[in-house]
Amino acid sequence: MVIAQAVPGVDLNAGTVVGAALTLVVAYVLARIVVAVLGAVSERFVEYRISVRMLAPVLKFVIYGAALYYILGPLLQLSGTQLLAVSGLLGAALGFGLQDLFANVIGGLVLLVSRPYQVGDKVTFGEHYGEVTDIGLRSTAVRTPGDSVVSVPNYTYITDAVVNANTGRPEMMIVVEFHIVDDADVDRAMEIVEDALVVAPYVYVDDDRPFTVLVEDEPLYRTIRGKAYVNDLRNEFAYTSDVTERVLAAFADADIERPRARAGTIEGE
């Protein structure tokens, strides 16, 4: 009754409110079903997993957009007076704390167009790193290595830098570092790291994704840095662990000494 008086000519009654509520419920259930089906399909076709899962936020926007259009259909042909009244109500709502919600929705639309990251990508938002599991109207869900889910507001993409580790592909570069004393056999150490990179499970090597081993001198020790691609970003930590185990065992067999740790740092730093 109050809303109908505030916006002259708009017929708001119990039937309209109930219909709108049912429409939103149907849209919510349909969106959940779509996400579940796409999730199941993506797991059956691993090669296209990220592309399939990226359809989920697009279809959610379409479903909710269609629901809002259906609900607000009678308001699409407002007179000048009605349009002014609705604009005033919208402005008041934004002024009472919906600015962030509006910014997040706009950010979500920008994400769908520019696609700086997709569902399934490994990204870094500030201090948070993990896999994007959902892109919603308001926020992006990121699952961290500790299995926590971080809800990142969509407007963060517009205001802050976002680091994407794989940009929509299942393969992702992994970097592992090892330290050896400065008088150790650096050539042998580099060979050990290289062997571990290419024989460990989950490695992915081709002409576009080569592996690399680099050495860097530091005061009193040297850093051996290995870079290679993993075949599926979900194997990131399994691959890193396997390479580390192989390298440390081989270092011990070859009598390649590592710097001693002292007070949380490498001695000599």
**What are 139's two structure tokens?**
């926020």
Encode pLDDT of 44-100 as tens digits.
Answer: 776 666 667 667 777 777 887 777 777 665 555 555 565 556 556 655 555 555 555
Confidence band for 205, pLDDT divided at 50, 70 and 90? very high
- b or e along 21-59 (b: 16 or more beta carbons within 10 Å of the residue's beta carbon)? eeeeeebeebbeebbeebbeebeeeeeebbbbbbbbbee
DSSP symbol at 78: -
Do the beta carbons of residue 179 and residue 258 sit within 8 Å?
A: yes
| Range scoring the smallest mean pLDDT among 30-44, 181-195, 196-210, 234-248 | 30-44
Q: Which domains can be identified in the chain, with CATH numbers? A: 2-113 (no CATH), 122-164 (2.30.30.60), 172-266 (3.30.70.100)
Do the beta carbons of residue 30 and residue 63 sit within 8 Å?
A: yes
Residue 3: φ, ψ to 5°:
-65, -40
Encode pLDDT of 108-125 as tens digits.
Answer: 666 666 778 888 899 998
**Positive/negative CA dihedral, 52, 57, 61, 66:** positive
CA-closest candidate to residue 247, choices 187, 190, 172: 190
High-pLDDT (> 70) share of the chain, %:
70
| Range scoring the smallest mean pLDDT among 105-109, 175-179, 207-211, 241-245 | 105-109
Tell me what pLDDT residue 6 has: 46
Tell me what pLDDT residue 67 has: 79
High-pLDDT (> 90) share of the chain, %:
35
Q: Residue type for 171, please?
A: E
State how far the Cα of 246 lies from the Cα of 223, in Å rounded to an integer: 17
